[in-house]
Homo-oligomer: A and B are copies of this chain.
Amino acid sequence: MKRIVVEKKILEKNDDIANSIRSLLNKNRVFGLNVMSSPGAGKTTLIERMVEALKPKYKIAAIDGDLDTQRDAQRIAALGIEAVQINTSGTCHLDSSMVQKALNDISLDLDLLIIENVGNLVCPASFYLGTHKNAVLISTPEGDDKVKKYPTMFNVADVVLINKMDIAQFVNFDVEKVEQEIKELNPNAMIFKISALKNDGLDEFLNWVEDNIQSIKNQ
């Protein structure tokens, strides 16, 4: 009981800061995308593909959340964009105050801000960061039962990317069942079947990102 009260206070404070981040992004006409998934589902590889494809046309920066290493931000920065690593030292998600601090180190002369959350299919879903959209990755080797087991995460998704489709055949992944369960839980979520590693199936998702960038620009 006590714990629930405390958590509400934390979430209220988180939302206040997130709302100010959203205002800042809107003022600067920056589309903010929060990317979430289990550990190892392919967030960083997806973001690498996004940067490779969109960098010729748009100004992009990334914020990478991780418990302890700087590997993710190093991978993204190697593509020639600004990337800030947040190390949460054990905390299982990013919160808006961490993002606010990271934004002090990023010029907002941008079109797209990508936030790579901590690898976790539970906690990040509860912490609004002020971004405009949530992208949730699920990878085929995790198994085809994740939508019903982690409903909070799939409920907050604007897009679900089913990744590692190239090895779906080796891991008995029933993609139709997963698509059906996503549609039942969250009918508004768009679904894209991709292999980020093989750079396969990403065109529609990239179009969706570009549409969002344009939509913010034209606000």
Contacts and interface: CB of A to CB of B under 8 A. Distances in A.
A204 interface: no
A151 B67 contact: yes
Interface in A50-94: 66-69, 71, 90-92
Contacts of A123: 92, 120, 122-123
A123 B119 CA distance: 11
Contacts of A122: 67, 90-92, 118, 120, 123
B149 A69 contact: yes
A171 B170 CA distance: 11
B118 A120 contact: no
The DSSP consensus for interface residues of chain A is loop
Contacts of A6: 3, 6
Residue among A40, A92, A120 having the largest count of chain B Cβ atoms under 10 Å: A40
Interface string A108-139: 00000000001111110010000000000001
B71 A145 contact: yes
A171 B141 contact: yes
Given A123-B92, A171-B167, A68 B38 contact: no
A29 interface: no
Contact of A71 (B66, B139, B148): B148
Given A39-B38, A122-B120, A149 B68 contact: yes
